[in-house]
Amino acid sequence: MIIRSDLHIHSLYSMATSKNMDIKTIASQAKFKGLDLVGTGDAFHPEWLQIIEDSTEPLKDGIYSIGNCDHNTQTRLLKSVETPEIESGLCKFILTVEVEDKDRVHQLIVLPSIESAYEIRENLPSKNIDKEGRPRVEMDGNELMQLIRDYSGLIGPSHAFTPWTSIYKEFNSIYDCYDDTPDFLELGLSADTDVADRIEELQDIPFISNSDAHSPWPHRLGREFNEIEIKKMTFKAFKDAIKAKKVVGNYGFDPRLGKYHETGCVRCYKAYSIEEARKLKMRCPCGGLIKIGVKDRISDIAEWDEPHHPDFRPQYTHILPLTEIISLVYEKGITTVFVQKIWKEMVQKFGSEIGCLIYAPISEVRKTDPKLADVIKSFRENTLKIQPGAGGMYGKIILDEK
């Protein structure tokens, strides 16, 4: 079977996250999005681990669900967060956590059980593991990899190309960080497979695309996700699928919409060519720091000018959250009643947000909302005009008057 998964999120115990990042809300909103499996995030934080234990029931081998997930339970939970009902059950959870190592590389970890999370956290040298959902540990990437693999977990670099805390920010090769090949590499919002597959050393590594969500609402949760072919819903089957490179679909931002695709100033967000930036010694005339963009960083380390996709690499499909598309088309705020009303109509008609964005026939979308249908069609065909993001500001879609 093929499942849709978002493996990198954060709980309410991480810095700058919504107080609504609790298990119940995440579960219901993930299902409206169309996700089957969501990472818990923050699995080394003691209070969050306790909430996971109290709010979920173990299913089989490292997969967790809210209660018994019978129809009455689902309906009650969905109504409690004031969102439209859907027919399918709530999503399942798998234990995940993001950790910052001593080289400031962010590592995404997938764990086999709550018990393993408790045991591993006792072996992590960290001063803030009880205070921060994404702890900083005094271990390098290789030491962390060996520890996680001792407990049969999976590990790979988070948002591998971003200019602040990533593997290719600190190193020119993944093997400067690890002695062995990581289990996966997370692309991040400012990269897709076309840009990442210019790097030869990544040819044998599966790519995953996740939201890094700090709030549970569907314009954040699942804004990037994976389709993974697994034999059954267990941790072992999930791990086997990653090892066998059974990621069969990556979905996420056009990388130009990411905050760090182009090189730019972190204060005024002016975009620069890499030659201009280096001539200015990476300091903008406004006084702000210029950060190298993902596109230019990859060009620095890539062996190829064009992508070389290995046979197992799936298509990368560009999407944007449905509320953002509605907001863009009608020039209304994402949280307005107007936008939320249209979003609910679409979710109810097509079963989930992903169902509307990716699978619904454009002719059917057009019957409900012709303006949205045109933009969704343009996304599917990669024909939208985009002003790339730089320096920490998201890119912008430019709609023509038609």
Q: How would you classify the pairing of strands 207-208 and 185-186? A: parallel
Under a CB-based contact definition with an 8 Å cutoff, are residues 233 and 223 in contact? no
Stated pTM of the model: 0.93
- 246 lies in the same domain as 389: no
CATH code for the domain in which residue 149 is found: 3.20.20.140
Q: What are phi and psi of 157, to 5 degrees?
A: -70, 140
Supply the pLDDT for residue 86: 36
Nearest-angstrom CA–CA distance, 202 and 199: 6
Of the three residues 225, 255, 285, the one that is the final residue of a domain is: 255
Of the three residues 212, 233, 255, the one that is the final residue of a domain is: 255
What proportion of the chain, given as a percentage, has pLDDT over 90? 89
Alpha-carbon distance values, 300 to 173, 213, 396 (Å): 12, 29, 25
Nearest-angstrom CA–CA distance, 223 and 272: 27
Under a CB-based contact definition with an 8 Å cutoff, are residues 219 and 321 in contact? yes
Range 183-207 average pLDDT: 98
| Confidence category of residue 83, pLDDT binned at 50, 70, 90 | very low
Q: Give the type of residue at 302.
A: A
- 240 lies in the same domain as 345: no
User: What is the per-residue pLDDT across 64-76, written as a single tens digit (0 to 9) for each?
Assistant: 998 544 444 444 4
Structural domain count, the chain:
2
| Confidence category of residue 60, pLDDT binned at 50, 70, 90 | confident
Supply the pLDDT for residue 401: 61
Asked whether residue 399 is assigned to any structural domain, the reply reads: no
- 342 lies in the same domain as 243: no
Q: Is the pLDDT of residue 98 over 50?
A: yes
Supply the pLDDT for residue 89: 65
Range 147-157 average pLDDT: 98
Of the three residues 238, 255, 272, the one that is the final residue of a domain is: 255
- 239 lies in the same domain as 352: no
Asked whether residue 310 is assigned to any structural domain, the reply reads: no
User: What is the per-residue pLDDT across 196-216, written as a single tens digit (0 to 9) for each?
Assistant: 999 999 999 999 999 999 999
- 210 lies in the same domain as 72: yes
Q: Give the residue numbers spanning the domain of 377.
A: 321-394
Nearest-angstrom CA–CA distance, 228 and 262: 30
User: What is the per-residue pLDDT across 299-335, written as a single tens digit (0 to 9) for each?
Assistant: 999 999 999 999 999 999 999 999 999 999 999 999 9
- 212 lies in the same domain as 342: no
- 250 lies in the same domain as 333: no
